[in-house]
Amino acid sequence: MHEYSIVQSLLNSCEENAQQNEATKVTKVVVKIGVMSGVEPDLLQTAFDTFKENTMCDKAEFIINVQPVVIKCLDCKEESTLQKHEYACLKCESVNIEILDGEEMYLMQLELE
């Protein structure tokens, strides 16, 4: 499970940010996970709950926002949010598309004390 290594890196980043801002603990961590990122939200939650002990994130609330795939059609220029894994323009049905969002995982917000 690569979620464990992702969480370890996330916890390290949270602690670095907390130390840079002279905080003693992290109270909230918000991440955005794209549906195409390869990260399973349930496994990420379990990994975070497992590894946060004895860190500055020990009591932190962990919020996961799942980002659907957003595309732009290169033919008709329409932007669409896909509800299914059918990679075609919803307006003209072209498969000549660019993926704008939904492939990455980002640390979106930290609340520190």
Whole-number pLDDT of residue 7 = 96
What's the whole-number average pLDDT of the chain? 95
Please answer whether residues 43 and 2 qualify as being in contact, where contact means their C-beta atoms are separated by less than 8 angstroms: no
Compute CA distances 99 → 14, 41, 72, whole Å: 29, 21, 6
Whole-number pLDDT of residue 86 = 86
d(CA 66, CA 35): 7
Q: How confident is the model at residue 85 (pLDDT cuts 50, 70, 90)?
A: confident
Q: How confident is the model at residue 1 (pLDDT cuts 50, 70, 90)?
A: low
Compute CA distances 43 → 3, 7, 50, 53, whole Å: 6, 10, 10, 17
pLDDT tens track for 20-63:
999 999 999 999 999 999 999 999 999 999 999 999 999 999 99
2-112: which CATH topology?
hypothetical protein PF0899 fold (3.30.2320)
Q: How confident is the model at residue 98 (pLDDT cuts 50, 70, 90)?
A: very high
27: how many CB neighbours lie within 10 A of its CB? 14
